[in-house]
Amino acid sequence: MNRIDSLRKKVDELNEQLLDLLNERAKIALEIGKEKQRIGKPIYDPIREEEILTRLIELNPGPLPNSSLIMIFREIFKACRMLQEQQTDSQLLIKKTKEKEQTTITVKGVTIGGDTPTHIFGPCAIESRTQLEQVAEALVKTGCRLLRGGAYKPRTSPHRFQGLGLEGLQLMKEITEAFGLVSVVEVMDERTLQEALPYIDIIQIGARNMYNYPLLKAIGQIDKPVILKRGLSATIEELKLAAEYILQAGNPNVILCERGIRTYETATRNTLDISAIPVLKNETHLPVIVDISHAAGRKDILLPLARASMAAGADGIMAEVHPNPQFALSDANQQLSLEEFYAFMEGLKE
Ligand code: PEP
Ligand code: MN
């Protein structure tokens, strides 16, 4: 064996030792990652990394210069961090697995996420007893069980109707109880959440609040199902992780809602992202519904959008219905009249 060969043999042996040591280190990093996840500590800890580097520089006997040492160890930190993040991602609570394929949620005898499609209809905003009663009656006539209606409205302009608040909640409770329906009402923050809770069956988190992480954490502590709407410009990943906040905080009953996203298109109010439906159905075990009214912003294309949503695998649809849409205090252009609603329901059966 010549000198180069024998030196190379040593290098090979050292590489193998390094390989073992690196994997040993990765295993311990994974253990640390698990522990951090358990106590809710972030994976990335730049201060700790700097401390390690400072110590290694102090100990460095050379000939490797400190700059190379730093470069190598930064790569090692990064690789271990990526491993830890992969481990955390594979353990997401929303993730569809063989053991958990589909969440079903039952409220007052109505099951969401099961074999029967979920139909949620009702006015954009609760405006009066007569208005809500008329819609409730139409729902009962068509066999729909979920009545939506906003008591707090997230309006673009502060000068527009903001919702009836507590009065609206009281009407919603009275009317859903009288008609045997299940209520869906949006809450805007922790105060309205607490105010609304005694009056409603399903909590809605609107598109504008999908990123409100403190609110998502608060919802996680509530024992009522939640409809979580996709943010106006949120990616599917961001919607999934917003749901993860609620599950992680302790509430497993989350229903995801695609409601259209902002694009350059102006023919519709938003662009209904049909792809989101199969992606969410494939990657999570949560029920997925589609709000076709806020996606379209118009009512002439609701039936094809509903059909497309159901064909793509949605568990149900939501749409706005108002006895006199032309006089509605919000979203007048997109709400179905009662006659249009009956026709829509007939169309859905075809
Ligand atoms: C609503 O459903 O009343 C509503 C305001 O919708 P979004 O949050 O999707 O805009
Ligand atoms: Mn609306």
pLDDT of residue 38: 84
**Three-class HEC string of the chain:** CCHHHHHHHHHHHHHHHHHHHHHHHHHHHHHHHHHHHHHCCCCCCHHHHHHHHHHHHHHCCCCCCHHHHHHHHHHHHHHHHHHHHHHHHHCCCCECCCCCCCCCEEECCEEECCCCCEEEEECCECCCHHHHHHHHHHHHHHCCCEEECECCCCCCCCCCCCCCCHHHHHHHHHHHHHHCCEEEEEECCHHHHHHHHHHCCEEEECHHHCCCHHHHHHHCCCCCCEEEECCCCCCHHHHHHHHHHHHHCCCCCEEEEECCECCCCCCCCCECCCCHHHHHHHHECCCEEEEHHHHHCCCCCHHHHHHHHHHCCCCEEEEEECCCHHHCCCCCCCCECHHHHHHHHHHHHC
CA angle in degrees (0–180, nearest 5) for 24-27-31: 140
Q: Token pair 């350059």 is at which residue?
A: 264
Q: Token pair 């959008």 is at which residue?
A: 305
Residue nearest to atom 9 of ligand 1 (CA): 207
pLDDT of residue 88: 86
- Token digits for 311? 């064909």
**Nearest ligand to the CA atom of 270:** 1
Residue 315 in contact with residue 118, Cβ under 8 Å? yes
- Which atom of ligand 1 lies closest to the CA of 204? 2
274 CA distance to ligand 2 centroid (A)? 20
pLDDT of residue 40: 80
260 CA distance to ligand 1 centroid (A)? 10
pLDDT of residue 217: 98
- Which atom of ligand 1 lies closest to the CA of 318? 2
- Token digits for 329? 């205090």
Q: HSE, CB side, 13 Å, CA atoms: give it for residue 143.
A: 7
Q: Token pair 């259209």 is at which residue?
A: 260
Residue nearest to atom 4 of ligand 1 (CA): 206
- Which atom of ligand 1 lies closest to the CA of 230? 9
334 CA distance to ligand 2 centroid (A)? 8
- Token digits for 3? 């000198």
Burial classification of residue 232, based on how many CB atoms lie within 10 Å of its CB (0-12 exposed, 13-18 middle, 19 or more buried): middle
Please give the Cα distance from 204 to 302 (Å, whole number): 21
Weakly modelled stretches of the chain, pLDDT under 50: none
210 CA distance to ligand 2 centroid (A)? 16
18 CA distance to ligand 2 centroid (A)? 61
Residue 163 in contact with residue 153, Cβ under 8 Å? yes
309 CA distance to ligand 2 centroid (A)? 19
pLDDT of residue 313: 98
**Nearest ligand to the CA atom of 232:** 1
pLDDT of residue 57: 97
**Residue of 192, 181, 183, 189 whose CA lies nearest to 208:** 189
148 CA distance to ligand 1 centroid (A)? 11
Q: Token pair 């009962």 is at which residue?
A: 140
Residues lining ligand 1, judged by CB closer than 6 Å? 124, 150, 154, 186, 206-208, 229, 259, 291, 294
Provide the 10 A C-beta neighbour count for residue 130.
10
**Nearest ligand to the CA atom of 291:** 1
pTM: 0.88
333 CA distance to ligand 2 centroid (A)? 10
Which of 126, 204, 211, 321 most suits a substitution to test ligand 1, by most atoms within 8 Å of the C-beta? Answer: 204
**Nearest ligand to the CA atom of 124:** 2
Calculate the CA 149 to chain-centre distance: 20
- Token digits for 164? 């009836």
**Nearest ligand to the CA atom of 259:** 1
Please give the Cα distance from 112 to 118 (Å, whole number): 6
Which of 127, 147, 186, 205 most suits a substitution to test ligand 1, by most atoms within 8 Å of the C-beta? Answer: 186
